[in-house]
Structure 1
Amino acid sequence: MFFTKRVAVVFFCFFFALHAYAQGNGKAIALKQLLFSIEKQYQVSFNYTENTIANLKISPPATSLSLLEKIAYLSQKTGLSFEIINTKFISIHTKMKPELPLICGYIFSSIDGTPLENANIEWENNQATTSDKNGYFEFKNQKKTNVTISYIGFIPQKIEIVENQNTACQKIYLTPNITQLEEIKTTSFLATGISKNKDGSFEIKPKKFGILPGLIEPDVLQTMQQIPGINSADESVASINVRGGTHDQNLFLWNGIKMYQTGHFFGLISVFNPNLAHTIAITKNGTSAFFGESVSSVVDISSNSNTSDKNSFSAGINMINADIYAKFKVTQKGFLELAGRRSITDFLQSPTYEEYYKKAFQNTSVTNSSTNQTADYDDSQKFNFHDITAKYSQKIGQKDHVILDLITISDQLKVFQSNTLNSETQSESNVLYQKNYGGNLYWKHHWNTKNKTQINVYSSHYELDAETRKNENNQFLKQENSMIDNGIKLENNHFQSSKLTLNTGYQFNEIGATNLDKINSPAFYRKIKTVLRTHAAILEGKYNDTLARVYAAAGVRINYIEQFQKAIIEPRLQLNYGISKYFSTAFLGEFKSQNCHQIIDLQTDYFGVEKRRWILSNNSTIPIQKSQQASISFAYAKKDWLLSVEHFYKKVSGITSASQGFQNQLEFVKINGSYAVLGSEVLVQKKTNHFITWLSYTYNTNNYNFGSLKPPTFANNFEINHVVSWSGSYEKNNFKIALGSKWYSGKPETTPSTIVINTTDVVNPKIDFNSPNNQRLNSFFQVNFSTTYKWESQNKIRYNVGLSVVNILNKKNEINEYYRINTATNTIEDVKTYALKRTPNISFRVSL
């Protein structure tokens, strides 16, 4: 377009020069004055610098000449170049000598090939031009220069122009930068790297993670317990309670794979490698309709990285395990990522390991409530764990992205126990294997700038195997629990506008559960296998108007269970409104359901270490669990102050008594019921320069309702009425330090009404208990500390060292208490479980 206009100017200059010259026979006047006259006559505007036309005088052209003829006349008389930019603007500059070669090009979208009008093309000396409606641009080459091409909604591209380059116009394709609607976040929530989104979810970026008390690594399951409303009543990452729910009611996803095992060392260490994950999203309420099979929270862990620009390697070790991480660029747009972690307890039993071991197996030492004697067991054990992950990511062309994720997790424990009581020696050998492995194949395709589709095909396998052999009578017990979860998930995102996105999808799941119990003496064999197939149709819309400070998302998930021929409709809602620049309110609501949950048949299953087993609903004796939840929150954020208050109500129906871990008169009772939670969560946070301090308080009442019992309503086993947490952290340059504390009221327990065993039934003596959960344990209090420091050597090798101390005051915190009959002494034993004592940990890491 610009080239054509320039040719027109030259044409008129050539053919009308003599004619125009003959007409100019008046008195010479200043060129600037003449330009003003032409601008007024033809409604055009001349662009020039004062130095260009200074002191120039010429005779006016004849008034009968056209605009182009007058421009040709002026060019001939002044020796200046007149360039018509469009119909209204004419640029005046000195003529370029010699003429440089012309560089031209066309700019297109890589998705559908459409030309991009008004794309910005910038080169050296801050010069710039734009493309026309055909995507065309041109400029004079300046020897060697870098040109940056940008367009709103597309990824900028830089190309190099070299002198004497082929004059054929280049075709340049820009890739759309398509993302979901950007959500305003509350950054540095509790610590750097943790933020709260407008939809109420929390996002953790491990690579940007600051520091929290007691943590030297960004462990996702330890970190989430710092968020108000999330707690672990028994100090275990395998027993996380979100707003009063049980651990199995949370959905844990790793790159789209459902994880049935979440803890190493039977709940003391997370199975998710803290040096791997890139984004962790935690949702307590207002869950997206694309997530099912959960009546409590969703923890979605994604290690998908969009970059493959360089290779990287790191290795680290602490007092429990060692790990290694590597990332290799395989192709121009593809990379391979490998990570592995293994315990070092085989050859090093550190103080940290000793405390973990005592915590996990402390119930081998019990107290007799009548004589206050202690029965001690001698133990020899072999324990190890590992987890390995692999990822291959490949972008294909401009529209497709394929990712393959693989994960394997394994724990192995071998324990030999012997006990001497009344001059009799009893011994047994125990072997326990727990593993979870799976894979996910992900494909994303951009149809055009407004539509993209994602497909996930995934599989998850879980196994829990235990063997117990009593050596004195050669009695053998074998138990197995396995889960196979296969499925496919389709999601389509349609970007209706900059404010509105419409998402649709379909999900199919086939879940199989197998439970086996086998004893040789007395002979007993039981194997139960169940399968459920579920279809889900999903519709969701998101609206985000940043000017009006309104964010809204509404969705519905319709589940259809083949075996039950039953449809379940689950609406979801998120609404956030900014009342002012600093003050906002949000309302969240959801209906959810769950077919897969954990129960405890016997407290001694899997020799009491991991006694929970996964089962599936049968829509009768084991009902489908359903939840309804609503919450309203208010947030104030100004000048590094943050105040957040949230009130919520949550009800879960269809629970079984076996899933709640009763250790009282309800331990062997099989009934169904519900629980309801009403609570509030408050957070006050202040950030000053490099210092962050926060104080949180959570209150809730959590009651069961089992209609067939008397009384039918009583406190939930996981009810903690009051939780108070405080933390202060300092981060500057490469140094980080944090100190914090947590206090919460004791959870409920059921006490015996008498210390005398009820022998009315001689064959089955029992303990007479008070009403369920009639009393509470003592309150819990713990102070934790952590610090890290990193530095870089001259050869660009990065080092990181960390120190943490859990329970720095070494306070003895009781976290569980129950009672059982000791048949050897014919007395009632009071069994108490305590939290970790003072537990240090040291880490060291090297990164290339």
Structure 2
Amino acid sequence: MFRPKQFHFLFFLFFIVLNLFAQDKGKVMPFKKIIIDIEAQHAVSFNYTEDNIEGLEFNPPKKSLSLEQKLEYLRKKTNLSFENIGNKFINIYKIDTVSKMVCGYVLSSIDKKPIENANIILNNKNHFTTDSEGYFEFNEENRNTFVISHVGFASKRITAGNTNTKDCIQILLEPEITELHEIKTNAILASGISKKTDGSLEIKPKKFGILPGLIEADALQTMQQIPGVNSLDESVSSINVRGGTHDQNLFLWNGIRMFQTGHFFGLISVFNPNLAHTISIYKNGSSAFYGESVSSVVDISSTPEKAEKNSFSAGINMINADVYAKYNLSKKSYIEISARKSITDFVETPTYREYFNKVFQNTTITDFSQSQNLNYKSDKKFGFYDATIKYAQKIGIKDQLVLDLITIKDNLEVNKSATSYNINKSQNNILRQQNYGANLSWKRNWNNFNTTKINVYNSSYELLANQYTTYENQRVVQENTVNNNGANLENNHILNSKFSFSDGYQFNEIGITNLEQVTNPDFYRKVKDVLRTHALIFEGKYNDTVSRVYLKGGMRLNYIEKFKKYIAEPRIQLGYGISKSVTLELLGELKSQNSQQIIDLQKDYFGIEKRRWIVSNNGTIPIQRSKQLSLNLFYLKNNWLLDIENFYKKVTGITTSSQGFQNQLEFVRTTGDYEIWGTEMLIQKKINHFLTWLSYTYNENNYDFPDYEYQRFPNNFELTHTLSWAGIYEKNNFKIALGTKWSSGRPKTSPDLSQIDLSDPVLVYNRPNNSNLHIFSQVNLSSTYKWETAHGIQYKIGISILNILNRRNETSEYYRINSLTNSIEEVDTFSLQRTPNLSFRVSF
């Protein structure tokens, strides 16, 4: 029982609480006073007209409520609309009870969870956000469409008239995870050439400006302007990247490995410059998806990044003529055709004569004519062509099929005859070089984050030499064929805007056949070797443009069936932006190669295209392996560009027969390695329409053959110093470029005259590569002009002059015994003399 005092206290307390509650319940305030209190508490400002709030009175909302909760309370009490703009201004409108309302919920398409604070942007530029439940509403009458957006999701436009206003609509937003585009620098060397974040150089032929001596974006000629890339004999079939031989470079055309890269036996690239859309060149740090190369990678893709309109163009210069056409068969398919053929069948231009003299000097084609006391006659036919076909078909919105075909052929026929002492001698020479390729690729975009690419390809190469001599009644046939098949699978996964990774599998089969057949005396040899390789690839990439960090690391694991051998090849590309102007870059890679080109005899294949492909036997012909590391400092500011790269590279498993020796090592068969380190520098400045650059390369490149008498000596392809300069002017449709290239002479081996009996000479040499050729120096000029008619037809003319000063540059030197004079003679090979070229092109 309660005592009286306790009872009285509880009764009194209950009465007070009840009285306070009754007072709170009945405390009605004017609406204007309520919103003034809210303004003071939440630092907002209400905008309204007196007519809309006149006479409104009710209990104020609790002070503990949030601003949004108070506005919702007022909305229910007053039937007014409250538009909150940035939690600063609140507009008060009178709701028209006749008008329709649009309401909805914004959800994620992946997990169906509500998206809070999604932005709803109306036609009148007013906007508001969704609540914690993803809910929104507005008056439909004055809003035809609205846009919903949120960070991390793709924006979506909704038409209010298409919504059902009886029920709230449900809107699903797709996550937007976009891989950041790699930042590219301004033009390097010329417009249309840029440096990518992964350290590679990218050439866009359609945007290509001009370079000294070039009037077209020839991929392999342009490549030789890059520091560290040279061709000692001016041939695109002898490109040396940081001391490597040409066959150590990987050339890909739409996924097809190309074993022939030059027309006119090396003076013109086989890749039509009017066709390629993107050319990527890697000197180091190439992707793990590139195999079968211990030097550089040149990847040419003629598939455009976006749809292009129908087009047609045709052109001619003093060597060849070509046509190009692209036709859209439908909105989802197109066909692209290109063809190019030499004009040497019809006319011998000055350009052709200079090219012919350069290519065939000191070969059996011209040696015949040097014989004395002969009534000599020669009838020669030379020609080349290339053609490509691309068919692309989109299937639905996720799939695309692309078929690429390419054919390349060079053909030389020389019939020689001479009369000596009433005896007629004749030779019928045929030299043919050709490459066919096909690639079928399928690409599927599973969603915004996952893509799969599959392609199967074939590349077939043939080099054939057929010589018949009536005087000696002898026939000599030499043939080198390559058949390369493969399949690639590549999956790309985007985790978020910074992280992505790729994985894949590659199968490659290469079969190489070498045939030699001689009559009188009879000799026949045919050797065929086949290698099959499997590769697993994993590659991850981190790209943060805010912190300016780029990291790409990959691993390629090769398995060679025949040798039951595993080879791991890690790759890395690391870039760090010290500031907006300065970037530090580290590139590294380990690579291997199972095929290579060798020379048995310098007069094979008439001494013109004397290299033949072979595959490794893991013994006398080892698997070539390379390791390379480079550190690069890149500066770009106020149109100044400075690029300094220090590198180290070592390639093991090379053979003497692959290095083109023409000294005492010509007939020595041994294996070893070469080691090169050096510095490459490019400084460039752009002033309005004028661009000038200066590049310098220093390297020290040495062979190491452990089993040879002279173990270590300079590499055949060493150019210790190389200096290039160019000045380019581009304004509107006029372009002109003047440039020069200077390099120290390549190594040569001199005979040791103190050890030679001149009465009965036998060649005795000094230490291999004990001296150097004379300095190489050349000045080149080119210019183009383009104009367009009122009907949209474009015309372009161009002129180039190689070696303006007509300098006689020596590119090689070797010695031989002249059996007629019984003496030692020096044989020199020289570069192109002054060579002009003109071009004309029409496009529409």
**Alignment RMSD:** 3.9
> What is the rounded CA distance, in whole Å, between the counterparts of 2:113 and 2:421 in structure 1?
89
User: Match of 2:669?
Assistant: 670
Change (3 A) 1:153 1:59: closer
User: Match of 1:5?
Assistant: none
Instruction: Tell me whether 189-198 or 60-69 shows the greater mean CA deviation.
Output: 60-69
User: Match of 1:482?
Assistant: 481
Matched, 1:779 2:775: yes
> What is the rounded CA distance, in whole Å, between the counterparts of 1:95 and 1:608 in structure 2?
94
- The alignment partner of 2:517 has SS state of strand
Conservation of the 8 A alpha-carbon contact between 1:490 and 1:507 = yes
Q: CA deviation at 1:768?
A: 2.4
User: Match of 2:822?
Assistant: 826
Change (3 A) 1:303 1:374: farther
User: Match of 1:20?
Assistant: none
Change (3 A) 1:744 1:85: closer
Change (3 A) 1:823 1:68: closer
User: Match of 1:222?
Assistant: 221
1:97-127 per-residue CA deviation (whole Å, 9 max, x = no partner) reads: 9968979999997x99999998878786657
1:339-380 per-residue CA deviation (whole Å, 9 max, x = no partner) reads: 221112211222211211111112259999xx9999997532
> What is the rounded CA distance, in whole Å, between the counterparts of 2:829 and 2:213 in structure 1?
21
> What is the rounded CA distance, in whole Å, between the counterparts of 1:338 and 1:272 in structure 2?
13
User: Match of 1:660?
Assistant: 659
User: Match of 1:18?
Assistant: none
Q: CA deviation at 1:480?
A: 1.0
Q: CA deviation at 1:792?
A: 1.8
- The alignment partner of 1:696 has SS state of strand
> What is the rounded CA distance, in whole Å, between the counterparts of 2:254 and 2:690 in structure 1?
34
Instruction: Tell me whether 115-124 or 749-758 shows the greater mean CA deviation.
Output: 115-124
User: Match of 1:261?
Assistant: 260
Q: CA deviation at 1:752?
A: 2.6
Conservation of the 8 A alpha-carbon contact between 2:179 and 2:496 = no
Conservation of the 8 A alpha-carbon contact between 1:217 and 1:274 = yes
Matched, 1:279 2:289: no
User: Match of 2:695?
Assistant: 696
Matched, 1:403 2:399: no
Q: CA deviation at 1:456?
A: 2.0
1:177-218 per-residue CA deviation (whole Å, 9 max, x = no partner) reads: 877553333221111121122322111111221211111111
Instruction: Tell me whether 412-421 or 336-345 shows the greater mean CA deviation.
Output: 412-421
Matched, 1:801 2:797: yes
Bigger CA radius of gyration? 2
User: Match of 1:810?
Assistant: 806
- The alignment partner of 1:448 has SS state of coil
Q: CA deviation at 1:174?
A: 9.2
- The alignment partner of 1:355 has SS state of helix
Aligned AA (1:488)? A
Q: CA deviation at 1:751?
A: 2.4
Aligned AA (2:713)? F
User: Match of 1:187?
Assistant: 186
TM-score by length of 2: 0.86
Matched, 1:36 2:36: yes
> What is the rounded CA distance, in whole Å, between the counterparts of 1:151 and 1:669 in structure 2?
71
> What is the rounded CA distance, in whole Å, between the counterparts of 2:545 and 2:332 in structure 1?
34
User: Match of 2:54?
Assistant: 58
User: Match of 2:542?
Assistant: 543
User: Counterparts of 1:82-481 in structure 2 under 5 Å?
Assistant: 82=82, 91-93=91-93, 181-363=180-362, 378-418=377-417, 426-481=425-480
Change (3 A) 1:142 1:54: closer
> What is the rounded CA distance, in whole Å, between the counterparts of 2:528 and 2:111 in structure 1?
50
Conservation of the 8 A alpha-carbon contact between 2:262 and 2:269 = yes
1:117-148 per-residue CA deviation (whole Å, 9 max, x = no partner) reads: 98878786657788999999998889998988
Aligned AA (1:522)? P
> What is the rounded CA distance, in whole Å, between the counterparts of 1:521 and 1:245 in structure 2?
39
Conservation of the 8 A alpha-carbon contact between 1:367 and 1:830 = no
Change (3 A) 1:130 1:252: farther
Conservation of the 8 A alpha-carbon contact between 1:459 and 1:485 = yes
1:27-64 per-residue CA deviation (whole Å, 9 max, x = no partner) reads: 9x9x6x764345568x696775xxx6388772342236
Conservation of the 8 A alpha-carbon contact between 1:517 and 1:527 = yes
Change (3 A) 1:120 1:524: farther
User: Match of 2:726?
Assistant: 727
Change (3 A) 1:132 1:847: farther
Conservation of the 8 A alpha-carbon contact between 1:181 and 1:501 = no
Change (3 A) 1:157 1:53: closer
Change (3 A) 1:144 1:37: closer
1:215-235 per-residue CA deviation (whole Å, 9 max, x = no partner) reads: 111111011111110000000
Q: CA deviation at 1:90?
A: 5.9
- The alignment partner of 1:360 has SS state of helix
Conservation of the 8 A alpha-carbon contact between 1:308 and 1:329 = no
Change (3 A) 1:87 1:235: closer
User: Counterparts of 1:588-607 in structure 2 under 5 Å?
Assistant: 588-607=587-606
Conservation of the 8 A alpha-carbon contact between 2:71 and 2:82 = no
> What is the rounded CA distance, in whole Å, between the counterparts of 2:175 and 2:842 in structure 1?
37
- The alignment partner of 2:657 has SS state of helix
User: Match of 2:784?
Assistant: 788
Aligned AA (1:814)? E
User: Match of 1:3?
Assistant: none
- The alignment partner of 1:185 has SS state of coil
Aligned AA (1:476)? R
Aligned AA (1:555)? G
Change (3 A) 1:219 1:576: same
Matched, 1:506 2:502: no
> What is the rounded CA distance, in whole Å, between the counterparts of 1:701 and 1:299 in structure 2?
24
> What is the rounded CA distance, in whole Å, between the counterparts of 2:375 and 2:221 in structure 1?
32
Aligned AA (1:62)? F
Change (3 A) 1:118 1:237: farther
User: Match of 2:843?
Assistant: 847
User: Match of 2:532?
Assistant: 533
Q: CA deviation at 1:68?
A: 5.8
Question: Percent of counterpart pairs with the same letter?
Answer: 57
Q: CA deviation at 1:241?
A: 0.2
Aligned AA (2:788)? E
Instruction: Tell me whether 435-444 or 394-403 shows the greater mean CA deviation.
Output: 394-403
Aligned AA (1:401)? Q
> What is the rounded CA distance, in whole Å, between the counterparts of 1:438 and 1:63 in structure 2?
85
Q: Which runs of 5+ in 1 are unaligned?
A: 1-22
- The alignment partner of 1:222 has SS state of helix
> What is the rounded CA distance, in whole Å, between the counterparts of 1:163 and 1:627 in structure 2?
66
Aligned AA (1:224)? M
Say how many residue pairs are matched.
808
Change (3 A) 1:266 1:54: farther
User: Match of 1:748?
Assistant: 747
Q: CA deviation at 1:458?
A: 1.4
Q: CA deviation at 1:723?
A: 0.3
> What is the rounded CA distance, in whole Å, between the counterparts of 1:339 and 1:367 in structure 2?
34
> What is the rounded CA distance, in whole Å, between the counterparts of 1:795 and 1:103 in structure 2?
53
Instruction: Tell me whether 201-210 or 613-622 shows the greater mean CA deviation.
Output: 201-210
Instruction: Tell me whether 130-139 or 798-807 shows the greater mean CA deviation.
Output: 130-139
Q: CA deviation at 1:473?
A: 3.0
